[in-house]
Amino acid sequence: MKAEIITIGDEILIGQTVDTNSAYMSKELNALGVSISRITSISDTKEEIIQALNEAQSRVELVILTGGLGPTNDDITKFALCEYFNTELIVYPDIEKYVREIFEKRGRPILEVNLKQAELPKDCFIIPNKIGTASGMWFERFGKVVVSMPGVPYEMKYLMQNGVLSKIQETFERPTVLHKTVMTTGAGESFLADKIKDWEDSLVNEEIHIAYLPSSGIVKIRLSKVSENRAEAQEKIDRKVMELLQIIPNYIYGFDDLPLEQAVGDLLLENKLTVSTAESCTGGHTAHLITSIPGSSSYYLGSVLSYANEVKRQELGVQQVDLDNYGAVSQQVVEQMASAVRLKMNTDFGIATSGVAGPDGGSEEKPVGMVWIAVDSKAGVVAKCFHFENDRGRNIQRASIAALNMLRLEINKNY
C-alpha cells in the first residue's frame, strides 16, 4: 500500500528549515508496511496545496500533510482543506478545552489567536493534540484518506503516536516490506562494497535489494525485501545478515539505525564499565554523543575539555616539554590526556582527542583534518592518527565517531 507526504511551508523551499518530519513519518509508516512513494514540499498558498493534494490523491490511497497549522496568519492549511473538501470551519468545544488547559499548565495568558486553534473543518475526524494547540485532521472520502498534522516536529510525532498510526492500521490492508539495516563504521563505502562483492551479487537470487548509505564515519548497509510471507522473507534476510557478519565482523557494530553511541553505551553497561573523555578538537562533542543516550549516567561520570594548552597542562598534567617538542596534536600528548582523565575521573576507560578541526590552524606537517585519538584502559593506552576532510563540522563529528569506535574495539578485545 502506497502513501505520499506533502510538506507545506516556504521555510523548506527557501532552505531555512530542514525537513526532518518526512524521514520520521516515512520510517514509522514503512514499519507498518505503508511505503512512501513520493515526498513533495510546496509553498503555503491555497492553490499549491490544492493542486498537490489533487495530484497525490490521483496516485495513492493515503496522503499525509504537515505544516501550516500554527496560530499565525501565514498558516493556511485548514482553510485550503475546507476548500478542497468543500466544507467549513466550526468550533470544536473539546479542542477549545485542550487549548485552554495547555495555557493554564504553562501559566501563560491565552490569546485570541490561540483560541482560533479550536476552529476546525466540519466533517473530519479530529485527532487531539495534547502537547500543542494544532489538532490533527483525518479526512476520508471515497476510500481515500488525507491526514493533516502540524509541522512542529514533536507535535507531529505526538499525533503520529497518539492516533494517526493506529487509525492507519485500522483503515488499510498492507503487504509486507521488510528492511534490515547493518550498521558499520571504520571503512568507506567503496572499500566495503569491494570486500562484500560476491555476497552482494548473491542477493539477487533472494530478491533482496541493497543500498549503501554513508554518513559521517558510518556506512549503513540496508537490505529490503517485498513479500507476502513475512516469516519467510525475514528468514532470508536474517540468513544473509549472518553471512555478512562472517565477512566483515569488525566493521559491524549493530543493526537498524542504532547510533554508535548507543552501541558503545550498551557495551559499557553490560560489562559494568565506565568512561570519561579528555577532548581538545572535538570540544565536548564526544561527551555529548555519550550523554545523549538515556541512562548514560550509569557509565559516564565526567570529562575535562582541554581546548587551551594551559588546561591540558594544569588539568591533565600534560608535560610542557612534550607540548614543545611534539605539539598538542601528537601521539605523546593525546596519550597523556587519555591516561590523565581516566585517573582523574577514576573510570575504566579514558578517551582523548587532539587535532586540527579547521578551517584555520593547519600546516604542511599537520593539515586540517589530522586528528590523534587515544584510548586508555587497564590494558594500556592505544593511539591512532586519522586524516579527515576540510570541513570543521564533519571533522568534529568524524573524530568523535572514530573515538567511540576505538573504545568499542578496546572493550570487545579486553572484556
| Span 3-42, contacts to a copy of itself by CB under 8 A | 9-20, 22-30, 35-42
According to the binding rule CB under 8 A, does residue 140 interact with a copy of itself? no
Task: Indicate the residue among 176 and 291 with the shorter CB distance to a copy of itself.
Answer: 291
284 is a site residue for a copy of itself (CB under 8 A): yes
**Candidate list 90, 91, 104, 111; residue touching a copy of itself; CB under 8 A:** 111
For a copy of itself, the binding residues in 35-74 under the rule CB under 8 A are 35-43, 70-74
Q: In the complex with a copy of itself, which residue's Cβ is closer, 124 or 149?
A: 149
Write out the three cell numbers for 123. 466533517
List 380's β-bridge partners, or say none. 377
CB of 60 to a copy of itself, least distance (A): 12
CB 238 within 8 A of CB 209: no
Contact 333, 372 (CB under 8 A): yes
Q: For a copy of itself, which is the closer residue by CB, 387 or 413? A: 387
Binding mask 314-343 for a copy of itself (x = CB under 8 A): -x----------------------------
CA distances from 113 to 91, 108, 329 (A): 13, 14, 56
Candidate ranges 119-127, 261-269, 300-308, 406-414; the one touching a copy of itself (CB under 8 A): 300-308
d(CA 170, CA 136): 17
Here the contacts of 331-337 (C-beta below 8 Å, separation 24 or greater) are 331/372, 331/374, 331/383, 331/385, 333/372, 334/372, 334/373, 334/374, 334/383, 335/374, 335/376, 335/381, 335/383, 337/278, 337/280, 337/306, 337/312, 337/374
Q: Does 364 bind a copy of itself (CB under 8 A)?
A: no
Three-class secondary structure of residue 33 per DSSP: coil
Q: How far is CA 182 from CA 188, 222, 318, 355, in A?
A: 14, 6, 40, 30
Indicate whether 307 belongs to the interface with a copy of itself (CB under 8 A).
Answer: yes
Smaller CB separation from a copy of itself, 124 or 333 = 333
Q: Is 394 in the site for a copy of itself (CB under 8 A)?
A: yes
Output the smallest distance, CB 86 to a copy of itself, in A: 25
Query: Which one of residues 88, 94, 194, 207 is an interface residue with a copy of itself (CB under 8 A)?
Result: 194
Contacts with a copy of itself: how many residues (CB under 8 A)?
102
Kindly give, in sequence order, each residue whose CB lies less than 8 Å from that of residue 320, ignoring residues fewer than 6 positions away. 313
The correct pick among 32, 193, 385, 409 for binding a copy of itself (CB under 8 A) is: 193
Which of 98/124 has CB closer to a copy of itself? 98
Residue of 2, 5, 92, 84 lying closest to 47 (CA atoms): 84
108 touches a copy of itself (CB under 8 A): yes
**Collapsing DSSP states into helix, strand and coil, what is residue 200?**
helix
- Among 129, 51, 54, 62, which Cα is nearest to 94's? 129
Neighbours of 226 (CB within 10 A): 14
- Gap between the Cα atoms of 137 and 383, Å rounded: 56
Round to the nearest angstrom and report the end-to-end CA distance of the chain.
46
Smallest distance from a copy of itself to CB 392, Å = 6
Q: At 360, which amino acid appears? A: D
Scanning residues 236 to 275, which ones bind a copy of itself (CB under 8 A)? 257
Closest distance to a copy of itself from the beta carbon of 34 (Å)? 11
Is 222 among the residues that bind a copy of itself (CB under 8 A)? yes
Binding pattern to a copy of itself, positions 68-107, x when CB under 8 A?
A: --xxxxx---------------------------------
Residue 213 lies near a copy of itself (rule: CB under 8 A): yes
